[in-house]
Each structure stands twice: as C-alpha cells, then as structure tokens.
Structure 1
C-alpha cells in the first residue's frame, strides 16, 4: 500500500514549482496565491475527477484491467473509457495526450532545475561557472548541464531492460518526498520564527489556513511513506537487499550530501528569534 503512495506522490511532484516561479513573477503577492488556488482546483478536477469517471464506467473486474501492465498503453483505463464511447483510435489519442504532457513536464522541469542550479551557484553550493548569463538573463551553463542530465536519464530507458530507469524513478520519487519534508519543515519553522520575533501574521501576503496542522501532517505522512514504501523487503526469511536498495537508494545519497555540507560549513539549527526573515539575500 505504501508503495502505491510513492508512485502517486511521484505523479504529483512538481506542484511545488510555483514557489520557484514566485521569484520571477511580476506581482508575486497577488499572482502566487491565485496560482496556488488554481493548482488545487485543477488537481481536484483533472486527477480526482477523471478517477471518478473511470470508476463509474469501468468495473474493477474488467478483464482488460486484470490482464494489463504499465507497458501496454492500449488497454489503460483511460483508453478503455474512450473505447466505451466508440472511439476506434483511442490508443492513438492517449499517446498524443501523454506526449503533450511529457513535453510540458519536461519543459517545466528543465526550467526549474536550471534556476535551482543557478541559485545554488549564487550561494556557493555549486560551481561558479553556472552563474554565467546570456543577454536574455538565461543561465546558459546551468541550462546545458541540466539538459545533459535529462538526456542521460532518458537514455537509461534503453539500458538493462528498464532496470536503470526504475532506479532513476525511485531516486527521483524519493528525492521528491525528501523535498516535501524540507518544505513542510521550513514552513513550520518560518511561521514559528515569524511569531517568535513579534511580527504580525496579518502582514503576510499569503497565510496557510491549516497551520500548524497542515505542515505537521505533511511532514508525518512523507516520513511514513518514505520509510515504509518497501518494508516487506525486511519481513521475509532473508532480507531482499536488491529490492530494498532499488527503493531506498535515495536516502543514503541525501544523507551523504547533507552530512558533507553540514560538516564542511559547520552549520547548526538557528534559534527561532535569530532566523533571518528578510526578503533580500544580501
């Protein structure tokens, strides 16, 4: 069950991109809250709405579902819905939809990854060569490096019958949940620091209404899903080290990088009253 949550989380990862786009928005105090609400309703409509429609039209006992696998798009639930309406070219339609979605996701991922690499270079956490900008203000070197990694990730689907690709999907999914853990923790500490320093919450352009329940629930759920997604690998007579390593490989990678940075820069947890809440990086 927890493994399903990891796959579902992998599908939803990317919604946090709106926070990165805030830095380049003309009017972030107005546009970002509007975008956040828009994303919520779009997810509710396009994800859950489509699941409800599929649930009404296709029973779980449908033989096409029982005999399918993820590699066969011709008998996916969405394709079956189109076929029920008499669309002969249902598989071709789904291929076009998926290709469009992949291009959109790749475009947004390339943008966000490039900006993040540039931001890391600005703070000294990545090589300074990634700070180079062209005449349009695009970090060229960061863009090239990001595109190169994306191409390499794509080529892994052709190696080892998809095993390398499965490793990358698990690393990416795990990294996404670790990122969500960091976002929830940062949001919780930001609000607590804001209050501890005597600031008025009404002055915040956008306030999460479910604080502190929201970030704490997100933190707890992400930790549970991350830790328990393949717990069955440890329950048998012999531990399935390969299965565990495929799923949990992202955790040691994160810990190694995190501890290296912490030991190198000798960072520590900043008390709430000393947290810098200024908007300027300087």
Structure 2
C-alpha cells in the first residue's frame, strides 16, 4: 500500500482505522454490559496499561494547513488515548480475571476470533505507519543534505521508492522466524525497536526545549505559535526523565536476567551506539558546533511548516473555503452535525 502514494495511503489509513476504532467502541460498550451483569457474570477484576503515539508531527509535511491541523490532532491525541486505550484496558480488567493466562474467559462466543482479526488489522496499520514515517524522515534528511540524492527520488505517483527500500529489507527478516525458532526473531525485532524509541523521545524533549528557549531568547512572543506545549518546560523535563528511566530499566532487565542471554543484550542496546555514532560522526566530519540561541534559524520553511501556506492569496482562499464549509454544516440537522463532530474526533 505504501507504493500507491500519499493520497491512497491517507484514504486507506482513514477507513481501516475507522474499522479499528468502531471495534474499540463496540468492545467498550459490550464490556460495560458484561461488567454490570447484562452479559456474563459481571465484575471480576481490573487491570491497567498505556499506549501512545508520536507520529502526529510527521504528517505536518503532508497537511494542507499544518498550523491548524497539527495542533488540533495533538490535543485530540490525549482523549483518544484515554478512551481507546485506557478505558478499553480498564474494561478488560473488569470483565476478565487477572488469573486467566489466556484472557479467554469473557464468555462471549466468537469474540476471540473477532479480536484476533482486528489485531491483524492493527498490525497492518502499524506496519503501514512505519513505512510512511521512514519515508518522510529520509526525505526530510535528504532535503537537509544528510542523505544521498538517490533517497529523494520519487516515481510518477510521488512515492519515494528508494526511501522505502530499507524498511522493506528489515521487514523481510520476519520471514526467517520459523527458521531460527518460534518467537525468537520477533523478540529480537521488538528489542531492536525499544531503545531507538526511548532515544527518539529524548531527542524530542531536548529539541523542543532548545526551540522554545531560542524562540524566547530572540525576543519572539510564544503566543504567535500555533500550538503551545502545556506545562513547559516541566513537560520536557518529565518526558526526558521518563524516557531515560525506561531505557535504563529496559537495559537493566536484560543485563540482570537469569539466565543471561547475550542475544537479548545485543538487540536491546544495538540502537544506542548507532544513534550516538551518527550524531558524533556527523559533527566530527562536518566540524559543526552547537548553535547559540540567538543564531538559531527559526524562519526557514516557516510559511510551509507553521502556516501551511505561503501567500496571502492562498491564506484568504483557504479561509473562504473553511467559511463555506462551516455555513454548509450549519444548515444540516442537529443529529448530522453531532455525527460529524464524533466522526472527526474518532477518525
């Protein structure tokens, strides 16, 4: 699907995600019915977990008006996590006993098969998002001169085939799982992605802290930004410390494991040397230094990234289209307007 272009990717992501989201909603409703005794035997336990996403910012380059779309998506992320992750996991804990190792005691016929199908769909969406994120990242690095020119080549549909090649090769590794042993390759792949994820959040925290500090040091008003991070700078400090703590505990767990497994240690820590070697190697080769706050470039690409449009006429045209859309929606019945709001929230 990644070869079909951004428009097809967006449509597929929208409708496939809609199926997943509807399943979440139905699962929560049915789970509450089980909890109160309408179905099954009612309340029998509790459990809690958390999941999140950090790929919202990558879509800024594909958005017509990122200055409006990205802040809205960022604010909604919190509530989507609360509803579709926290609430659904809480309902699981209320319905299924914690002692049930297989989590199959929900007493709803065929529910396991339906959930397995949705899990496969979720895996497909996760893989598709990985393709998209890697392609966008490599293309951005190419524009900054940090990747070879071949990475920036696209086909007639605008698909960066050479940017997709590396992740395709990595994905092929999964096909040797049965050769090495059941679950072994999967564990290696999971371990390999863990440390880079922590380092990514460490980088996000540091970069955002530097950006805001430089923005203020240059005498600019924070109110001019389309989105202002809540609780700054403490949110950056907390994010940095949490990512650092999780990375430390992840490493500590495999180092102190009994029995000691060399493969697990290598796969968990493999991302760290690659990360630091890339940074240190780039700085040594190009002899770059830390840019002073007063010299940080805050204006390059600003019209396309923050405002999403590059001219006054385009801005006026976009505002006119938005006004027309609001007028059309205002004429709809109340139930349709409510449905549109719900649809936009979950999708």
TM range (shorter): 0.7 to 0.9
On the 8 A contact 2:142/2:151 being kept in 1, the answer is yes
Change (3 A) 1:198 1:163: same
- What is the aligned partner in structure 1 of residue 174 from structure 2? 154
Match of 2:129 in 1: 108
Residue 230 of structure 2 is matched in structure 1 by: 209
Gaps of 5+ in 1: 1-7, 66-74
Show the 5 A alignment for 1:168-179.
Answer: 168-179=189-200
CA positional deviation for 1:236:
8.3
C-alpha contact (below 8 Å) 1:170/1:250 kept by paired residues: no
- Where does residue 249 of structure 1 map in the other structure? 270
- Paired with 1:249 and 1:143, the residues of 2 have a C-alpha distance of 22
1:165–1:258 CA distance, 2 compared to 1 (3 A): farther
Separation (CA, whole Å) in 1 of partners of 2:192 and 2:273:
10
Question: Residue 134 of structure 2 contacts residue 167 of structure 2 at CA under 8 Å; is this kept in 1?
Answer: yes
Contact kept, 8 Å, 1:118 with 1:142, in 2: the verdict is yes
Moved more, 16-25 or 158-167: 158-167
Gaps of 5+ in 2: 1-48, 303-347
Distance 2:60 2:207 in 1: 17
TM-score by length of 2: 0.67
Partners of 2:205 and 2:240 within 8 A in 1: yes
Residue 132 (structure 1) aligned with residue 153 (structure 2): yes
Tell me if the contact between 1:156 and 1:165 (Cα under 8 Å) persists in the aligned partners. Answer: no
**What corresponds to 1:5 in structure 2?**
none
Pairing of 1:38-49 with structure 2 (within 5 A): 38-49=76-87
Task: Give matches, 1:173-252, under 5 Å.
Answer: 173-232=194-253, 234=255, 241-252=262-273
The normalised TM-score by structure 1 is 0.81
Shift of 1:218: 0.3
Q: Report SS of the residue matched to 1:49.
A: helix
1:276 to 277, 297, 320: 297
1:53 pairs with 2:91: yes
CA contact (8 A) 2:188 2:267 kept: yes
* Residues 52 and 239 of structure 1: CA distance in aligned 2, closer, same or farther (over 3 Å): closer
The alpha carbon displacement at 1:238 in A equals 10
2:55 corresponds to 1:17: yes
Q: Deviations over 1:24-70 (max 9, x none)?
A: 1111111111111222211111111012111212232x2x32xxxxx
Number of residue equivalences: 253
C-alpha distance in structure 2 between counterparts of 1:244 and 1:186, whole Å:
29
RMSD of aligned C-alpha atoms? 2.4
Q: Kindly tell me: are residues 259 and 239 of structure 1, through their superposed partners in 2, closer, same or farther at Cα, counting changes over 3 Å? A: farther
Query: Deviation of residue 163 (structure 1)?
Result: 2.5
Change over 3 Å in CA distance of 1:233–1:28 after alignment to 2: closer
Q: How does 1:256-275 map to 2 (within 5 A)?
A: 256-275=277-296
Aligned to 2:159, the other structure's residue is in SS state coil
Provide the C-alpha distance between the structure 2 equivalents of 1:146 and 1:183, rounded to a whole number of angstroms. 22
Q: In the alignment, is residue 122 of structure 1 matched against residue 143 of structure 2?
A: yes
